[in-house]
Each structure stands twice: as structure tokens, then as C-alpha cells.
Amino acid sequence: MRVLSPSAERVLRHPLGFALRVLRGFAANQGVLLAGAIAYYALLSLVPLLILAIILLSHLVDQAVLVETLAHYLEWLVPSQSTALLGDIEHFLDQRAAIGVVLFFTMLFFSSLAFSVVEKAMAVIFAHRDVAYKRHALVSAILPYSFVLFLVVLLFVVTALSIIFETLAGGSYSFLGLTWSLAVLSGPSLYLLGLGVETLIFAALYIIMPVGRTRPSHALIGGLSAALLWEATRHGLTWYFTTLSKASIVYGSLTTSVIVLFSMEIAATLLLLGAQVIAEYERIGLEQGDSSH
């Protein structure tokens, strides 16, 4: 009984060859250029998206708790710059009474820009897919806003789980005559929660954004790989920007924007590399006539 598909066996027999194939495909698709476009629009989308999320969720969760949750997990997205971004967001929220319909829809438009660019970049990487239909223009228009809604719901779930973990960690529990505290598990639990959220976001992008079907197992493997690579990268970026970097001297008041843009370009590159891995794996299946992949 065959355990692995012919495609998987080929990749395992020649992992270096597969890696080189992925890099060649990434270069042929102008992956770095696509990542730069995603990073630029992500910079425009980030603050409006976070403001919208807080405004919408503040009807369900205390705003201070939401901001505290963002303070913890925003560092995962923009290493060493979360405090500056949160300061801008809190300043805007202090003026929330001035938000009107026009400003609300303007923020909604800008918050979706990055996802529109991701969809176009995925179309380039997955151009090999012989799909029988083109995505309707209306679907493409609605898709970014649907993903914004998905992220808002995800933030609500993460906030609720964070509150539960911190509540459990703050208590003491008796068992077999001994008193136990779960405080030591609070940090690892929140870290694993953040890693799971990263993986889920990457996987959702691989499933939803490309035209055609991406197997959930492929999306999860690609999502976990991209999340682990980003974890290693962001720790390196945090160390560099807090110890060696002279960006604040060179760029002055533009420092936050430059560092956030640079971090997002790296994250976008890893996102597209994960997509390229899935695309090349699919191409191997097509070459071998592997109908199951």
C-alpha cells in the first residue's frame, strides 16, 4: 500500500532540487517585486484595519482589553515598532467622536488594499492552474472585505482566549492535597496561540486568494512553514533593530514607517515563497500525471 504520493516521494528524494526549483520559480515570477507591492499596500492598510477592528469589537469587548491584546500580538507583525503604532491608534481613538460615514468607508477601503494585491500576486504564482472559470469581478471586489471581516472575528477570538488563559493562570488549584498554579503556563499558551493565529492566517490566504482549489493539507503545511520562518526572522529583526540598527539616526521621523515597510516586505516574501512551494508541488503532480494532487 502506497503511503506517499509520487509527488511527495520525488520531493523527499530530491529536496535540494525541489528547493532550487522553488527559488527559480519565485525569481521567474518576480516574487521580490510582488512582495514589495504587497508590503507597500499593507503599510497603507495596517492602521485603518486595526482601528476598524477596535471600533467594531469595542461593542463586545472592553476597548482597553483589545488594545492590550494588540500590544502583545502586534509585536509579532511589526518587530520593535508596536509601541509607536499603538500610540498612533490610541490617538485616533481619542478622536473617535469625529468619525463619520465618509471616514468610516474610507478606512474600510484602505484596510482592504493589501488583500487585493495579495490576490493578484497569487494569480501570478498559481498561473499553471487550468481552471475552467475566471473569478467574477464582484467576487474579487468582495473578497478583500471578507478577509478583513475574518481578521476582525479572529481578533475577537484571540482576545477572548487571551482573557481565558490569563484568568486561569491567575488562579490556584488544589489537587491531591497540593496547590498548583498555572501562571507558568500563561506565557507558552499565549505564544502558541499567536503561532497558531499566524499559521491560520497564512493558510487562509493560500486557500482563499488563489483562483482554483488549494488542498487544506497543502495550505496548512505552507502556512506552518511560513509562520515558523517568520518567527525566526522576526526575532532576528527585533534583536537587530533594538541593538545594532541606526535607522532612527538615518531616517529620523520616518523610522517607524521604514521599519514597518521593511518588516512587511520580508513577511510578504515568506508568504509568497510558501505559495510558490505549493505551486511547484502541484506542478510536479501535473508532470507525473498524479491526479490526486
For residue range 207-233, what is the model confidence (pLDDT) as tens digits?
988 888 888 888 988 888 889 989 999
Contacts of 31 (CB under 8 A, 6+ apart): 125, 269, 272, 273, 276
Instruction: Please report, for the chain, the start and end positions of each structural domain, with discontinuous segments joined by +.
Output: 6-126+135-287
CA distance 291 to 293: 5
pTM: 0.81
Residue 269 vs residue 90, higher pLDDT: 269
- In sequence order, the 6+-apart residues with CB closer than 8 A to the CB of 255 are 247, 248
Q: Note every long-range contact of 190-193, with CB atoms under 8 Å and residues 24 or more positions apart, other chains counting.
A: 190/72, 190/162, 190/165, 193/158, 193/161, 193/162, 193/165
Spatial distance between the Cα atoms of 38 and 44, rounded to a whole number of angstroms: 10
pLDDT at residue 82 in the model: 79
**Residue 96 phi/psi, 5° resolution?**
-60, -25
Confidence of residue 206 (pLDDT cuts 50, 70, 90): very high
Strands 172-175 and 178-181: antiparallel
Helix, strand and coil percent figures for the chain, each rounded to 5? 80, 5, 20
pLDDT of residue 291: 45
Please tell me the predicted confidence (pLDDT) of residue 181.
61
Mean pLDDT of the chain: 81
For residue 292, pLDDT beyond 80: no
In this prediction, residue 182 has a pLDDT band, given cuts at 50, 70 and 90, of low
What is the pLDDT, as a whole number, of residue 144? Answer: 82
Report the range of poorest mean pLDDT among 29-38, 146-155, 186-195, 196-205.
186-195
Cell of 208: 482563499
Model pLDDT, residue 174? 62
Q: Write out pLDDT tens, residues 28-42.
A: 999 999 999 999 998
Of these ranges, 71-75, 131-135, 262-266, the one predicted with the greatest mean pLDDT is 262-266
Q: What does each C-alpha distance from 287 to 242, 291, 293 come to in angstroms?
A: 48, 10, 11
Whether 155 contacts 54, CB under 8 Å:
no
Residue 218: per-residue pLDDT: 86
Which residue shows C-alpha cell 502506497? 2
